[in-house]
Structure formats: C-alpha cells, structure tokens
Amino acid sequence: MNTLTPGSKIRVLIVDDSAFMRAALSRMIASDPGLEVVATAQSGFEALEKVVKLKPHVVTLDVEMPGLNGLEILKRIMRDCPLPVIMVSSLTQEGAETALEALDLGAFDYVPKRHSFVSLDIVKVRDDLINKIKAAAGSRVGPHYKAARAVPVAAKGAPSADSGTTTIVVIGTSTGGPRALQDILPTLPADLPVGVLVVQHMPIGFTTPFAKRLDNLCQVAVHEAENGTVIQKGHVYIAPAARHMTVCRRSSSEVALQVSPNPSNTLHIPSVDITMLSVAEAYRALAMGIIMTGMGADGAQGMQAIFKAGGLTVGQDEASCVVYGMPRSCAEMGILKRVVALADIPKQILSAVGYHAPREVCAKPTDSSQRPRTRP
C-alpha cells in the first residue's frame, strides 16, 4: 500500500469502461487541490497493471466492467496490492447487492452512479465523492486490516450499573457500517428482549437488499422500517433510504415507527440525529445509543440527548473503526459513557438489557436454509 505523506496530494486511479464516466469523475476529483487523478483505466487488466505500477492511494472502481468485472478486480487488488477502493455502482437492486458484496470483500465505500453523475445536484455529489476519497486515503481497509470480529455472546459476570435498564437500542453508523453491522448483529440472540433501531447512511435502492441480507444472517428478525410498525422485541429495524425514522409512543407499552422524508434540510436522510432525538424523547433513561464507524458528526446531537436524558451511550473505539469520525465527535463532546471495540458492542447490549441466556447462544449458520424459524 502506498503510504500518504503529510502535505502530499492523494493520488487517485479511476477505473471505468465509460469514457463519459472517466471524464466526469476526473473533473470532480481534479476540482479539489488536495487530490490528483494519477491515471484512468478502461479495463480490469489495465487497472491491475496501473495499480502495481503507479501505486495510487485510492481507486474508484466501476462495478459493471466488461471482461473482469468489478468484484473480480477488487478481489485481485485486495489479494495482491491492498488499498482503499471506492465502488461506483448503479442504483438497481443488482447494483446494490453487488456493492454490498464488494464491502464484504474489502471495499472502503461506494458511490451510486446514476444519482452521482447525471443529477442536477452535482455539487453535493462531488463533495460526497471527494470526502469519501479523503477518508479512504487514511482508512484501515483490506486484508492488512482486520478488526476483531464479534462472537456469539451471553451476558455473564457481574452486571453493570446499567444492567437491565435499557428497553430500546438505537445504532448510528455510516462508512464501514455495513460490514460492522454484519459482524455484530448476527451475534444477538433471537429472544433479545428489546427492539433495535439502525440508521445506516445509504442511497435509495440499497437499504432493502441490505435489510434482507442481514435478515438472512441474523437470529433476530431484520426489516426495513415501515411507517406505523409497532416496535417488537427481538426485531431490528433499518431506516429506509431517503426517509427519516422516528418513534412515537402510543401508550406506556406500545411505541410505533414513523417514516418520513421530513425534515428535508438535513445533511443525511436518514439522519442518525433525527432518530436518536426522537428515541431520547420517547424513552428517556431507558434508551441505549450506540455510535459506530463513519465520517462526519451525524449522531452527536442525538447521542447528547440520550446522554442528558440519563440513557446509556456507547461509542466504537478508534482502533476498530474504518473511519473514526462520528464516534470521535461524540467522544470530544464528553457524552460517551463507554468506549469499546466493535467486537464488544454485543456484550454491551446484552448487559444493558439484562439478558441472560438460558443456554449457550449459537450463531446462526450463514446458510439461510438452516435458519432458526422460532422467533419471539
């Protein structure tokens, strides 16, 4: 991997078979004085040759390439010359599923192609791409970086001061989040005594296949959130793309989800802040907020609200984050009661909700045909 020295430009290799896309990406990247397009490539073999020869800091890689496809190119980069790769993916279901698979293979992040390069909101798109490239250049990705993976856990040992007080868990994450969530959520037991809300920054078309992907991996049931759904124990709800997810207390025992594009003036839709602020209002000291890997500061206000309401606030530590942005913002505000590695987050959840397994908790096989069907 080519190490980035202080003050030097971030060297980017653009891989795309479309001349229009190569030009569009080049213009966006070149508009930032801290970035440099070191070369472009229009085929997989050309890309692999230039990765070895030019040693770029970051690669943007089209998912749909002729000959060697994007995933095969990514596999070879990660095997032979690991470095941060940002996938450029269409917003079709197939494109979304491929992008999610790319994250499993070590890609840093993805940029949705249709939204990114033919929309009128070109300034926002360019800024998003540039921010991701800058974050990727200093990130921990690929086979050379392996954070400790979570393992199936049961709450054991002396309970903490917060043990058994939590009745809702809300998780906020962005860059690096899909892989992190796939590490921790499958370790939670089917009879988890609370519901879990997840806000993961994703474009339209991605949250539906992501929720299905998680549902196939997890013992808890995972859904893309729908308006009016009553939160149930042992269920995980993923905020849908382009919609905020909030909660509304209907009674002392019943809380429902609300899904809406409003407010429309937030930097991210869905927004971690919007969800956590509503959770803090509805649950007060009974809420547990978890902030994980991601760029920026979304979630800082929401975590602060949970903290002030007396709830439990947990941040992922820097060592296990792909990008230590969102947790850093909360840590610097002094609103995290605990800072733990990614692998320890499930233990924190089970302790907070007072879960004690009646028997050994086993991870569900990845083969969905062997999935336990009995759920609370």
Residue 364 covered by a domain: yes
State yes or no: is 162 an active-site residue. Answer: no
State yes or no: is 298 an active-site residue. Answer: yes
Catalytic site residue from 62, 162, 215, 298 = 298
Please enumerate in sequence order all residues whose Cβ is within 8 A of that of 181, keeping only pairs 6 or more positions apart, or say none.
Answer: 171, 173, 198, 200, 214, 292
Task: Provide the pLDDT for residue 169.
Answer: 98
Domain containing 23 equals 10-137
Q: Are residues 230 and 112 in the same domain?
A: no
State yes or no: is 201 an active-site residue. Answer: yes
Catalytic site residue from 116, 174, 271, 351 = 174
Task: Provide the pLDDT for residue 150.
Answer: 55
Please enumerate in sequence order all residues whose Cβ is within 8 A of that of 339, keeping only pairs 6 or more positions apart, or say none.
Answer: 314, 315, 316, 317, 327, 331
Q: Are residues 295 and 180 in the same domain?
A: yes
- Cα within 13 Å of Cα(351), Cβ side: 15
Residue 128 covered by a domain: yes
104-114 burial, b at 16+ Cβ within 10 Å, e below that, comes to ebbbbbbbbbe
CATH code where residue 19 lies? 3.40.50.2300
Q: Are residues 266 and 346 in the same domain?
A: yes
Residue 3 covered by a domain: no
Nearest to 322 by CA among 137, 185, 186: 137
Catalytic site residue from 109, 139, 183, 201 = 201
Q: Are residues 173 and 92 in the same domain?
A: no
Residue 266 covered by a domain: yes
Number of structural domains the chain divides into: 2
Task: Provide the pLDDT for residue 166.
Answer: 96
The last residue of one of the domains, among 137, 159, 191, is 137
Q: Are residues 258 and 118 in the same domain?
A: no
Residue 149 covered by a domain: no
CATH code where residue 344 lies? 3.40.50.180
Q: Are residues 354 and 237 in the same domain?
A: yes
The last residue of one of the domains, among 89, 118, 137, is 137
Residue 282 covered by a domain: yes
Task: Provide the pLDDT for residue 363.
Answer: 47
The last residue of one of the domains, among 137, 153, 178, is 137
What are the tokens at 237? 């709800």
Q: Are residues 347 and 211 in the same domain?
A: yes
Q: Are residues 57 and 172 in the same domain?
A: no
Residues 166, 194 contacting (CB under 8 angstroms)? yes
CA 50-56-57 angle, to 5 degrees, is 155
Q: Are residues 66 and 177 in the same domain?
A: no
Per-residue pLDDT of the chain (376 residues; tens, 9 = 90+): 566 677 789 999 999 998 988 998 999 999 999 999 999 999 999 999 999 999 999 999 998 888 889 999 999 999 999 999 999 887 667 778 888 999 989 999 988 775 445 554 577 778 889 999 999 997 766 544 444 455 555 544 434 546 668 999 999 999 999 999 999 999 999 999 999 999 999 988 899 999 999 999 999 999 999 999 999 999 999 999 999 999 999 998 899 999 999 999 999 999 999 999 999 999 999 999 999 999 999 999 999 999 999 999 999 999 999 999 999 999 999 999 999 999 999 999 999 999 987 655 444 444 444 444 445 5
Residues 281, 252 contacting (CB under 8 angstroms)? no
Residue 163 covered by a domain: no
Q: Are residues 323 and 190 in the same domain?
A: yes
Residue 247 covered by a domain: yes
Q: Are residues 95 and 236 in the same domain?
A: no
Q: What is the dihedral of CA 244, 250, 254, 257, to 10 degrees?
A: -10
Task: Provide the pLDDT for residue 356.
Answer: 80
Q: Are residues 362 and 216 in the same domain?
A: yes
- Cα within 13 Å of Cα(103), Cβ side: 24
Residues 276, 295 contacting (CB under 8 angstroms)? no
Residues 236, 201 contacting (CB under 8 angstroms)? no
